[in-house]
Amino acid sequence: MNKLNALTTLRFFAAAAIVIEHMRAVLSSVTLFDGLPYDYGVSFFFVLSGFILTCVYKKGFEEPGSIRRYYALRVGRIWPLHVTTFVLAAFLLPPWLKFVGPEGPDVPLIALTNVFLVNSWIPVARYFFSYNGVSWSISTEMFFYLMFPLLVRDWHHTWKWKAPLVWCLVALLLSISTAAGFPDFDPRTPLAISSVGIAYIGPFARISEFVMGMVAAGFYLRNVDRGGHNVWVWTAIEIASICSIGFLWHHASSLPMLIAGHRLDTNAWVVFFGHSCAAPGFALLITAMAFGRGLCSKILSVRPMVLLGEASFALYLIHQILIGLIRVHRDDWLRDYSDAQLYVAYWVVALACAFALWRFIEMPARDMVKKISIRQWTAAKA
């Protein structure tokens, strides 16, 4: 199996889309194809995560200690950088940007749930948006990581019932949430359970996208050595997979509004489809690019593009902290700069910070955990 470099590059575009989405609220006069659903980048990451893990662990966890090693590698991959940005957010951002007041009996608990990446499991904004707001998505990923060994076990034979079962359970959750009438997210009531907390933030609904990535990976693994290698045919397939995302966004996102009969602003189905409807398109895109036989995937596999993808996780975790600093200082020492100037400067600083965090925090921590886990695994097998 190839190194899937094109998928690494796609991670950068997904992260960049999320950055653009969040920049809208701060430098609103700068618009880049206004109206595009840039927040779909989160859905892409969830689908990609299921795809990559299934490809890497396609043989399952049959050997003794393999599950423990898997968990160690997952934690080593995300936790050091998460803790670093948590500390930066805690010290650099004012309380109103961390979604945590300066005092209160629940502040230590909120901090602990964030540090240990369970904050998104609680559908309350004061928890899931706490400190570095985007950390909710890696908390959701952490739940996927915990469930993965159970899901991937004998996946080749069990996916036909496991995937539908997960999707049915998600549908049940969304239906119950809609019937319960949980309100939409409102920053004025940060302790309220919201439909956003359940259908957009929470892992119990978003696991449907992770499983979709696992299903796509199963198809890829069964067919990776088959099929032709005509570059023009595969280029057409890659372009078609890109177009499918736009088609799904345009049509599927309005489906719940057509079938829902009441309270659309609090309808968990509307929230879910509004943010997750492109997941099948992402599954197609990821699968097509994984084969690496068309011009699009070949362009995405060039080294400079792959390097951007390598630093995408760091970019994702640092970007909202930098946006917060702009919001804090927009009316004092940044007031003499135009939105366009700040936009360009922001991207330069964000990419510089991302590469620094990737090189000096993420990579060393990942390599250290990998060496320790290999040493322990080798000793256990001896």
Q: What is the pLDDT along the chain (382 residues), one digit of tens a residue?
A: 457 999 999 999 999 999 999 998 888 777 777 767 788 899 999 999 999 999 999 887 877 788 888 999 999 999 999 999 999 999 998 888 877 665 667 888 999 999 999 999 999 988 999 999 999 999 999 999 999 999 999 999 999 999 999 999 999 999 999 888 888 887 777 778 889 999 999 999 999 999 999 999 999 999 888 867 789 999 999 999 998 887 877 666 566 556 555 445 568 888 898 888 889 999 999 999 999 899 999 999 999 999 999 999 999 999 999 999 999 888 888 888 888 899 999 999 999 999 999 999 999 998 888 888 776 656 555 5
Cβ atoms of 166 and 210 closer than 8 Å: no
Nearest Cα neighbor of 46 from 87, 75, 18 is 18
52, 7 Cβ separation under 8 angstroms: yes
Beta carbons within 8 Å of 57's beta carbon, 6+ residues apart: 70, 148, 152
For the chain, the helix, strand and coil percentages under 3-state DSSP, each to the nearest 5: 75, 0, 25
Centroid of chain to Cα 89 = 19
**pTM (predicted TM-score):** 0.92
Q: Residue-wise over 288-310: b if at least 16 C-beta within 10 A, else e?
A: bbbbbbbebbbebbeeebbebbb
